[in-house]
Amino acid sequence: MYFCFQNHIILTHQEKSGQIRKEINLSYQQLKRAYPILKRQNSIGFVIFLIAVIIIIAVSIGWYRAIVPTCLMIVANAFFMGLLHEIEHDLIHWLYFKKQKTIHHAMLFIVWILRPLTVNPWIRRTLHHHHHKFSGTLHDVEERSVTNGERWTIKRLLTTPDVVLGGLLRLHRMFGDMDREVKNGNLKMETSSKLKRIMFLSIVPVTIFAHVVLYFFLVDGLLDWLNGYDITNLSFPHYVDNMLISLNLIIYTILLPNLLRQFCLHFITSNMHYFGDVEEGNVIEQTQVLNIWWTYPMQLFCFFFGWTHSIHHFVVNETFYVRHIGRKKAQEVLRKYGVRFNDLGTFKRANRFRDFSK
């Protein structure tokens, strides 16, 4: 369906989305004809995965032996853990080793264990597929879990990387919205019940344990700092200190890099996705391209997620590295059909697509 106005054809959003998919897919086909190696999807994905894991282990060993400085280790591990997040995302879409399940699930397990602040990836697969189908709605629980749709306050800033405590603080509102969506006929009761159940199961036990360890570590550091200025004289019991000492290697080489990585990813994704007033089925209103210069430090630790994730919403079954290699042509297509770029008003509008103050 289209409308004619002064000899111009005005496409509907479905037709625009179809054209975007068609033109981006064509650009990918041309790219793969020019570079046939890109067709070796399993091999490329596995090599990237292996390189990232090896470097994380090597840098961590270097830090443990006092060869690599702490700050450099945290930054390097955060970068490569961000790369593993992209591998996990591709695995969730079954883009590697779909027929060789043992390798597929082994990769999924390793990328999770090296990023234990994230939710269970097998359960996340259900949440993520729901996100694609209902992006920007009140029951898009994957994005809402990372603060999408909330006004910017100190609370949002502090809970941006935290899917446990931060999730608990917004759980009542999310569940209430889902109940209303069921009542209004926008969400099936069985789907709502399933989402509520698996949201909890997705953080048991690994994600909760990793966060609790991190909470103790951060509070212990804060108490030491306050004690150093004679502001207070509080401290944890010895058995807590002993626990933190025994987990020191994991805290520094895995949890702290992931805290940095996860803050950066959640900041970018929660502000490049729109929420709350997205027209049903309108993919053009679901995301924007967020690649303004001041986001670069954060983009570095989520492998420039804001540059390419909008492309993924239109062409789902393509690897992250092809999206990056072909991003310039794809971004030209997105811009041509009206996908927004660097809409910074989203920070004032609590991620609404439209200005809800008017």
Model confidence over 145-201: pLDDT tens digits? 999 999 999 999 999 999 999 999 999 999 999 999 999 999 999 999 999 999 999
Residue 214 lies in a domain: yes
Residue 355 lies in a domain: no
Pull the structure tokens for residue 335: 């811009």
pLDDT of res. 232: 84
d(CA 162, CA 184): 31
pLDDT of res. 267: 98
pLDDT of res. 6: 43
Under 8 Å between Cβ of 97 and 42 = yes
Distance in Å from the first CA to the final CA of the chain: 30
Largest CA distance in the chain: 78
Expressed as residue numbers, the domain containing 231 is 2-347
Phi/psi at 273 (5° precision):
-95, 140
pLDDT of res. 355: 84
Residue 130 lies in a domain: yes
Identity (one letter) of the amino acid at 308? T
pLDDT of res. 4: 44
Residue 286 lies in a domain: yes
Residue 280 lies in a domain: yes
Q: Which residues of the chain have pLDDT under 70?
A: 1-9, 356-358
Residue 352 lies in a domain: no
Residue 358 lies in a domain: no
Number of domains observed in the structure of the chain? 1
Residue 353 lies in a domain: no
Pull the structure tokens for residue 234: 């509080």
Which pTM value belongs to this model? 0.94
Torsion angle defined by CA atoms of residues 292, 286, 122 and 102, in that order, rounded to the nearest 10 degrees: -70
Neighbours of 247 (CB within 10 A): 16
Helix, strand, or coil (residue 71): helix
Neighbours of 294 (CB within 10 A): 8
d(CA 117, CA 357): 36
